[in-house]
Amino acid sequence: MTDATRYPIIPWPRALEPRDGAFTPRAPLEVAVGAAGPILSGDDRVRLAIRADAPEGVEAYRLEVAPDRIEVAARDRRGLFYGAQTLRQLVAASPRAIPAVRIDDAPRFVWRGLHLDVSRHFFPVEFIKRYIDLLAAFKLNTVHWHLTDDQGWRLEIMKYPKLTQVGAWRKETIVGPNGKLS
């Protein structure tokens, strides 16, 4: 079995050291991530901690899975969040026995994200929420959200109703037929 098969993690961490054994939760282990940070339930041997001896760097973390415990350590909340995301991936792949490992990781790039164009392509609110959740799950930290273009304003803001009442409609565009400027 290859490391990538045993540890299905996206993106692949900077350093991964396979270890012998596996952590077997006493109860179903659920990793939830909320506004206050990661929340783990189901086993008291799992710990998330902000520590001075954690890996250096913005969004860096260390994840250690041993047969008797799991620990995620980081110097800041963002690192703890991304460490919890890696743990979520391991739990999803092997919920009954999480393979032992030590991971030291930090993002390779400061800006990691995707573009979402709702100016020309409309999506339901639930789709956008799911899109943002998936970005976070794969440790992407930026959403480039295209809200407006030369065709008009597309985001309804209750405080400024004329943005959509007036600004969302346009009879013409600055670009005419065949891409020529009008």
| pLDDT at residue 117 in the model | 87
Q: Which two tokens stand for residue 86?
A: 């890696």
| pLDDT at residue 76 in the model | 93
Tell me the C-alpha distance between 76 and 16, whole Å: 21
pLDDT in tens, 108-131: 999 999 999 887 777 899 999 999
Q: Which among 48, 53, 75 has a CA at the least distance from the CA of 63? A: 48
pLDDT in tens, 90-107: 999 998 999 999 999 999
94 pairs with which residues across the strands?
none
Average pLDDT, the chain: 88
pLDDT in tens, 28-37: 888 877 767 7
Q: Which among 70, 47, 45, 50 has a CA at the least distance from the CA of 61? A: 50
Q: Which among 148, 136, 76 has a CA at the least distance from the CA of 112? A: 136
Given a cut of 70, whether residue 145 has pLDDT beyond it is yes
Q: Rg of the Cα trace of the chain?
A: 22
Q: Cα 75 to the chain's mean position, in Å?
A: 18
Given a cut of 80, whether residue 148 has pLDDT beyond it is no
Given a cut of 60, whether residue 179 has pLDDT beyond it is no
Mean pLDDT score, 153-172? 81
Mean pLDDT score, 21-48? 85
* Residues of each domain in the chain carrying CATH 3.30.379.10: 3-105
| pLDDT at residue 46 in the model | 94
Q: Per-residue confidence at 172, pLDDT binned at 50, 70, 90?
A: low
Asked if CATH classification 3.40.190.170 holds for the domain at 3-105, the reply, yes or no, is no
Given a cut of 60, whether residue 15 has pLDDT beyond it is yes
Q: Which among 132, 91, 138, 139 has a CA at the least distance from the CA of 115? A: 132
